[in-house]
Amino acid sequence: FQLTGLGLYDSSGQTSVAIMNGVGTCGDASSYAALWTASATVPVGPVDGALFAGVGVVDFGLPTAGDVGSPYSLCWRHGPSAYLYEYRTTIDPDLELHGPVLAMAATCTLGRRCQLQLDGLGLAATNAIALVPNGSACGETGTELAAAFIGSNPASPAPFDASHRLYVLGNETSAEPGVYRMCWAHNPVGSDSMQFRVPLGWLTLVGPSKGDYTCYLGASCVLALTGHGLSADNRLALVTDTTCGASNPTFVSFSGLPTTNPMTSAAGLEYDMGRVVSGGPQLVRLCWSSQPLSSEGHAAFRVEVGSLFMKGPFQGTTQECQICLACKLIVSGLGLEPGDGIVVIKPSGACGDPVQMEDLQFFASPAGIQNPPNVSSLQGSNLVYDVGTITVGIPGSYKICWGHSPHALGDYALAVGVFNLVPSESPPYAGTSSAGCAVLLPGQGYRTDDNLDFRKSALGTEYEATLAIDNDNNSGWLSGNSSCTLLAGEPCVAGACGETDASACPAAQCGEQPWLVLDLLAVRLFC
């Protein structure tokens, strides 16, 4: 304040001015001083030396507190005093403090337009506000601007608002949610945060914190978000787009999820995706919206939370092992880990349902077969499982079930493909005497119902042939066209067995007992 007058100074060259709360309160014993700074202890300002005769300057410092718009009284005393009631001379009975109303509390939401409406007196177009991290002090050395509303921090009043009360910060989508301190300045130059010394209040930014999440195919998946002010009105979308906020995004669809996409949450914190029972591994983007409106469409999901890496194996694989040979199963995927496991079950079972799952029993001599098998190596995106050498088994097609860090049969919940167990190859001498087969001499001259001679050897390398004596003398021939009984030393003739058709009987006389030619398919179930 600049004062003019006569005899402003006492004999010691001092004079003093005080600011009191209220109108016309100078000299009032019940009056109290206005505190315009947070650290003010003496509410009086001594007058500096005369600038020229009869003129002095009173410096109260920079007001950073006080009630804007409330009346104050400017009081004078010839010489300073610790007793405020001694300031009886009224210089201005209705002094006004200009600026914004302090202790302002505002809330904005990520992904939504943020604008602030200030209350105050004497606000001007030169004013500005700045956001600094919560816990930082306004105007102090070392205080930096918050990493929020980049391009609008500091912010000036909206040019279309004649009252200079409206500040449009814009649409923030990536800042960390939480509480920020708002600092005000009357006429700052540039964006130096030290110029913003007035603590205006606090801005709460609602939304989720950024984070990347991992789930596994076949396992329960719950996305536990953190943030500030999350609620049941929030929605979370899973998309494959490169950014969030597209008007026509590509939504991810995982089979087995009980929820829709976008997903809901009871409190905006945990999004339960259930257990994904089919679908390939992939990396998807998580996009958030506070309370999307139907008029906004999918573009409301502007806030990128992070990514979801759905780890697991590719499905549709076909693996094959042969009895008597070393067996290794290879599973390919994304994010596979040595603790992941597979189990081979019978085709009638359902992966993940321990009641219906019956694991395939492999046998070996010596022991060493494992089902579930252990991981022998991790080669890039492939897990190699060592089953061992199967020496006994039942050929056929079976199911391969996969699980992340499984502990029980029900943890193998993802069906990844088919396992075919094939028989051992027949030796090249199958069907010969060296393989234990008798020479088929008794079959010479025998013929089948199509009048072809009976074979003297096996049908092929996959068969083994042998001769068997029909000890009960009642069995029919393999042709099945006759139940002729051959008696020792007698030829088979029509009617000899009560039949009129003798085409299935041998043309020559039988031996002591009839011989049957048996062709055995060499499906080798053991080594």
Same domain, 190 and 117: yes
Same domain, 323 and 402: yes
**Which range, of 1-10, 238-247, 267-276, 347-356, averages the lowest pLDDT?**
1-10
Specify the higher pLDDT residue, 205 or 456.
Answer: 205
137-157 pLDDT, tens digit per residue, is: 999 988 999 999 999 999 999
Considering 422, 456, 487, which residue would you say is the last residue of a domain? 422
Q: Given pLDDT bands bounded at 50, 70 and 90, which one contains residue 167?
A: very high
Task: Find tokens 């410096």 and name the residue.
Answer: 59
Same domain, 192 and 230: no
Q: Is residue 384 part of a domain?
A: yes
Do the beta carbons of residue 137 and residue 143 sit within 8 Å?
yes
Is the per-residue pLDDT at 208 higher than 70? Answer: yes
Range of the domain at 79: 2-97
Same domain, 50 and 110: no
- DSSP structure string for 63-95: --SS-TT--EEEEEESS--S-GGG--EEEEEEE
Query: Coil, helix or strand for 395?
Result: coil
Arithmetic mean of pLDDT over the chain: 78
Q: Is residue 494 part of a domain?
A: no
Do the beta carbons of residue 297 and residue 247 sit within 8 Å?
yes
Considering 422, 449, 474, which residue would you say is the last residue of a domain? 422
**How many domains, the chain?**
4
Q: Is residue 261 part of a domain?
A: yes
Closest CA to 323 of 234, 423, 231, 224: 423
Considering 47, 74, 97, which residue would you say is the last residue of a domain? 97
Question: Which pLDDT score, from 0 to 100, does residue 426 have?
Answer: 61
CATH of the domain at 112: 2.60.40
Q: Given pLDDT bands bounded at 50, 70 and 90, which one contains residue 235?
A: very high
Same domain, 343 and 326: yes
Q: Is residue 435 part of a domain?
A: no
CA distance 72 to 85: 15
Question: Which pLDDT score, from 0 to 100, does residue 337 have?
Answer: 93
31-54 pLDDT, tens digit per residue, is: 777 777 655 444 455 555 444 445
Structure tokens at 332: 């390919």
Same domain, 225 and 181: no
290-308 pLDDT, tens digit per residue, is: 999 888 899 999 999 999 9
Same domain, 130 and 227: no
Is the per-residue pLDDT at 319 higher than 70? Answer: yes
CA distance 118 to 112: 19
- H helices of 174-304, in order, are none
Q: Is 390 exposed, middle or buried (0-12, 13-18, 19+ CB in 10 A)?
A: buried
CA distance 62 to 472: 124
Question: Which pLDDT score, from 0 to 100, does residue 253 have?
Answer: 77
Q: How many residues does the chain have?
A: 527
